[in-house]
Structure 1
Amino acid sequence: MTEQMTTANKEKLVSDLKVVISDTEELLRATTGVAGEKVGELRDRLVVRLRDTKDRVIDLEHALLDKTKAAARATDDFVHDQPWKAVGVAAALGLALGVLIGRR
């Protein structure tokens, strides 16, 4: 369960970073015509940092995808290797969920 929460948090982080990158790109386009030495230097630094951030987000996304695929393979292997245990776990989870829903 903790691994699933971590994966969900990473997915949310990637999504949020994509929004920030998109907003930053829009800001850069909006300030293209603005003159001034300070603005030019800031734009140059921002372009470099934005490029680095994009690369990191892509790497994080690939790592997240790899971990998700590995977890799916491990689950598939477990179900194929020990089908009765998988059925038992699914039945226990179903029963527990049914009890929780029935209380409401």
Structure 2
Amino acid sequence: MNDIRADLVVHKDALVRDASALLADVQALLQDVAAEANHESAQAREQLAVRLGALQKRLSVQRQAAKGQLSQWANSTDRYVREHPWQSVGSAAAVAAVAGAMAALAVTHR
């Protein structure tokens, strides 16, 4: 009977050692996976930062182009109004009359 108990204790100790080794290996594997994920996420963040920088640069260029275009339109409009004041007043009055007529028509149909 002692032989069976001794064998049981030996097998139990071997099983505990094997389970402990397996647990240590799994923990090491999880730490490696986490480290690799952090490395990959750092690379992804770097790529995202590069793309964001490129997008901001393109947006800045587009903004400057739009400002330039708007400035040209404003200068052209100002020049036209100064050169043709009565035609500008007439055009504004016509636009106001059409807008007023459309508003009145919309109100009466409700």
Structure-2-length-normalised TM-score: 0.59
Q: 2:64 aligns with which of 62, 78, 81?
A: 62
What is the alpha-carbon distance in structure 2 between the residues aligned to residue 88 and residue 72 of structure 1?
Answer: 19
Q: Could you tell me which amino acid in structure 1 is paired with residue 41 of structure 2?
A: V
Consecutive unaligned residues of structure 1, counting only runs of 5 or more, are 1-34
TM-score by length of 1: 0.62
Which structure 2 residue ranges, 5 or more long, are not aligned? 1-36
* One-letter identity of the residue aligned with 2:62: L
Pairing 1:38–2:40 present: yes
Deviation at 1:45, TM superposition (A): 0.7
Q: Which letter does structure 2 place at the counterpart of 1:67?
A: Q
- The RMSD of aligned alpha carbons is 1.2
Q: Once the two structures are superposed, what CA deviation does each residue of 1:2-52 show, in whole Å capped at 9, x if it has no partner?
A: xxxxxxxxxxxxxxxxxxxxxxxxxxxxxxxxx622111111111111111
Per chain length, whose mean CA-contact separation is higher, i.e. which structure has more relative contact order (CA < 8 Å, sep 6+)? 1
Code of the residue aligned with 1:100 in structure 2: it is: M
Deviation readout 1:48-78 (Å, 9 max, x if unpaired): 1111111111111111111111111111011
Tell me the CA shift for residue 81 of structure 1: 1.0
> Whole-Å Cα distance in 2 between the matches of residues 79 and 96 of structure 1?
21
Partner Cα separation in structure 2 for residue 101 and residue 40 of structure 1:
58
* Distance in 2 between residues matched to 1:39 and 1:94, nearest whole Å: 58
Q: Who wins on radius of gyration, i.e. which is larger?
A: 2
2:39 partner amino acid: E
SS of the residue corresponding to residue 52 of structure 1 reads: helix
Output aligned runs, 1:78-93, within 5 Å: 78-93=80-95
Please identify which structure carries the higher helix content: 2
Q: Percent identity?
A: 29
Q: How many residue pairs are counted as aligned between the two chains?
A: 70
